[in-house]
Structure formats: C-alpha cells, structure tokens
Chain A
Amino acid sequence: IQMTQSPSTLSASVGDRVTITCRASQSISSWLAWYQQKPGKAPKLLIYKASSLESGVPSGFSGSGSGTEFTLTISSLQPDDFATYYCQHYNEYPVTFGQGTKVEIK
C-alpha cells in the first residue's frame, strides 16, 4: 500500500490553520497514524486510528478520514509545530509511511 502526502512542503505563519492530506493507494479503513518529527529527533506519535489523539498531544491537532483519504489539521499553528509530519498506515504488513510534509515558517 502506497501512502502519498500533500503538499510536500507547506509555508505558514504562527496562528494559521494548517491541513495536510494523506492518500492511500487502497482502502485502509481507519488504520492510520500521524507523527511529528523535528530535525535530529525521533518521530513522535500524534494521532492513531485516523482521529484518536495520543495522550499528551495538544488538542490543536486533529485527524479525520477513512478509506483512502485522510487529513491532519493543526487548528492554530504554534512555534513548536514547525516540523515534518508523516502519515503511516497499519492495515497490513508491510506498514508504510508517507513521504512527509515539512511545515516551515512563512
């Protein structure tokens, strides 16, 4: 299963509402996770099962979608949110990740 994220890069300002899209090459039901990764650091789980917020993750992050189309939304971009975001399906093996979306400062 191939995962395709768009856009690859996103320029935004603090306070902006940001949406990242992830598309699966076939239906994955809701078996989708989102991660945030900062340079030189390990990924951090944000969302699982498409829309469930991981414990400790700010409520400004939300996920939606099912089947083949999914979105990650940041309601109001904070300085700490500038990072690269990855989606990952876990519908079957091999689990695969999207290519990443870098959110940078406008």
Chain B
Amino acid sequence: EVQLVESGGGLVQPGGSLRLSCVASGFTFNSYWMGWVRQAPGKGLEWVANINQDGTEKVYVDSVKGRFAISRDNAKNSLFLQMNSLRAEDTAVYYCARPSLSSGSYFDYWGQGTLVTVSS
C-alpha cells in the first residue's frame, strides 16, 4: 500500500524558515518524480514544486522560486521542502504527492498534509 506521511509543519513568524519532510512507503521511491502541492485555508490547490528521481531536476512555481528548495534522500525514502523567507501567503496545508509514472505530472497518491501557519 502506497503511503506518504508528511511532518514538520507548524507556526512560524514572517521571514522565518521551516523544513517539511515526507516519508514514502509501499512503492519504489527512487523510480518516481515527487512533488509538493499546497492549499491555503478555504482555498483551492496550488502546485509548489517537483523533483526528478535522482534529484538533478527541480521545478518550482514562480511564487516560491528563490525561497523554497525541494530535495530528496532516496536511501531514506524521503522528500523534503526547505522553506525560507516565509510570508503570510505561504500559510497552507502542504501535501506531499506522487506524480504518476505513466506520463505527465498528475498526482496519483497524496499524503494527509501538514499545516504551515506564517503569522506574528
């Protein structure tokens, strides 16, 4: 059974940093791209970043470029999102999600999400 379990969310002040983690199980982690999708309270879904199988290719939404960094540790079946210079508009539930292997970047499995609140 595919499982994605996020952790690391919490309350942080504007301008602060936070590192999210996602531990994967139930599939061959190093065969898949991985990604993060977020959802502000009461709002829709926004893709944040994807990373390829060996971590050499990373793609970001414009609003987080230069502030967020996606990475992975295939030995530990783990995905990370380092978030710096956080803003109030980054407040959201952050989901770890697995892009489908077949084609393109739609997400066939999602974690339960971790809440990040940016507030003073």
Contact = CB atoms under 8 A, between A and B. Distances in A.
Contacts of B14: none
Given A48-B100, A90-B106, A100-B44, 8 more contacts: A37-B45, A42-B111, A43-B107, A45-B107, A48-B106, A49-B103, A93-B59, A95-B47
Interface residues of A, number: 24
B1 interface: no
A42 B45 contact: no
Given A42-B111, A48-B100, A99 B44 contact: yes
Interface in A23-68: 31, 33, 35, 37, 41-45, 48-49, 54
A97 B106 contact: no
B95 interface: yes
Given A94-B62, A97-B46, A100-B44, A31 B108 contact: no
A73 interface: no
B11 interface: no
A45 B106 contact: yes
